[in-house]
Amino acid sequence: MTISLYVTAWVLLTVLAPAWLVAGVVIGAIRRRSFVTLRLLIFAWFFFGIAMIALLRLAVVFPWLRGKPDELHTRLFKLQQWWSATLLKLAGALLRLDIRIEHADEAWPGPTILLVRHASILDTLLTSVYIQGPRQWHVRYILKQELLFDPCLDIVGNALPNYFVDRTGNRQREFDGIRALCRDLGDEGILIYPEGTRFSLAKLARARERVREQTPELTEAAAALTHVLPPRPGGVLTLLDALPEVDCAFFAHRGLEGLGKIKDIFSGSVVGSSVRGKIWRVRRSEIPATDREQIEWLYEQWALVDAFVKDTEIE
């Protein structure tokens, strides 16, 4: 269904381009918010166009490589990289983003568990472009099931080894799915967003209350976090248990908060943003063994993520 919706959206945007281009300029002149409406309409036209190109490429790849899983995997990974890099380059140009990521090489070599801050709809693109792209490194993603509405993510995401979490489903079933994703990891990475959802002040208040009710011993640690959400340890503990010899790499970043919600996007605050990121590696020998100690360790590392976001914000 969404394939036809994407095609329809692109056709309508193309046919109505003269109207929305003029409207975007007028709205930008009146609102004086960096012409963000016009920028987003242009991005939408390119987004649906890029999706259709990717789907056409998929239509060519699948029939010819159906019986060659290794080659199919490689081609799909390259298509994923092209899609991610093109969208991020487009978003960066239209929104005038200055993106700088420090120590990306800390994520290599694999295997590695990647723990990434979640603040916007572009988080996954950052990882794909700045961590995977330079070395054509394969990373398995743990993502929310709602993202499957996008046909490219649905088709390619399910053809490659990833896991889409049903956040309303049975928790043990989801943990089992994450554990299954760890099999035969080789030198690949596996990525998780420990917060479970994008940051907002309202979500931070609810998360602190949940921690206070469910794990009161972590109340103080959760209260100390001001720019990130307290991590949900279940998925991380599952990965640490399933991959007992694998290092962890943390990815803190700031500057994409203006892409967290639709109303934030239309405020124009993200235009001209400086996006800063930093990655650091923790050797497995430095990670404690018991669940309780690992949760405390996770909070300690997440406090460093919080400090990076806060200090970078001050700068």
How many helical (H) and strand (E) elements, i.e. helices and strands, does the chain have? Answer: 12, 7
CATH number at 170 reads: 3.40.1130
Residue 89 lies in a domain: no
Q: Which pair of tokens denotes residue 136?
A: 């054509």
Q: Can you give the pLDDT at residue 65?
A: 72
Q: What CA–CA distance (Å, rounded) separates 109 from 95?
A: 33
Residue 48 lies in a domain: no
Q: Can you give the pLDDT at residue 2?
A: 83
Residue 26 lies in a domain: no
Q: What CA–CA distance (Å, rounded) separates 179 from 241?
A: 9
- When pLDDT is cut at 50, 70 and 90, the band that residue 313 belongs to is low
**Pick from 253, 281, 119: nearest CA to 189:** 281
Residue 157 lies in a domain: yes
Residue type, 49: G
Number of Cβ within 10 Å of residue 85's Cβ equals 16
The least confident of 92-96, 141-145, 258-262, 294-298 is 258-262
Residue 50 lies in a domain: no
- When pLDDT is cut at 50, 70 and 90, the band that residue 169 belongs to is confident
Q: Can you give the pLDDT at residue 105?
A: 93
Q: What CA–CA distance (Å, rounded) separates 180 from 178?
A: 5
Which position has the higher pLDDT, 103 or 1? Answer: 103
Query: Over pLDDT 90: what percentage of the chain?
Result: 63
Q: Give the pLDDT confidence of 24-82 residue by residue, as tens digits.
A: 899 888 887 778 889 989 999 999 999 999 999 888 877 777 778 788 888 889 898 99
Residue 169 lies in a domain: yes
Q: Give the pLDDT confidence of 236-278 residue by residue, as tens digits.
A: 999 999 999 999 999 999 988 877 666 777 777 788 889 999 9
Q: Can you give the pLDDT at residue 219?
A: 95
Q: Is 82 helix (H, G, I), strand (E, B) or coil?
A: helix
Q: Give the pLDDT confidence of 12-28 residue by residue, as tens digits.
A: 999 999 999 999 899 88
For the chain, the average pLDDT equals 90
Q: What CA–CA distance (Å, rounded) separates 252 from 116?
A: 6
Q: What CA–CA distance (Å, rounded) separates 247 from 97?
A: 31
Q: Can you give the pLDDT at residue 262?
A: 67
Q: Can you give the pLDDT at residue 167?
A: 83
| pTM (2 d.p.) | 0.90
Residue 17 lies in a domain: no
Q: Can you give the pLDDT at residue 1?
A: 75
Chain position carrying tokens 């487009």: 90
Residue 23 lies in a domain: no
Count of structural domains within the chain? 1
Q: Can you give the pLDDT at residue 141?
A: 95
Domain containing 241: what range? 94-314
Q: What residues contact 101, with CB distance under 8 A and at least 6 apart? A: 126, 130, 253, 276, 277, 278, 279
- When pLDDT is cut at 50, 70 and 90, the band that residue 294 belongs to is very high
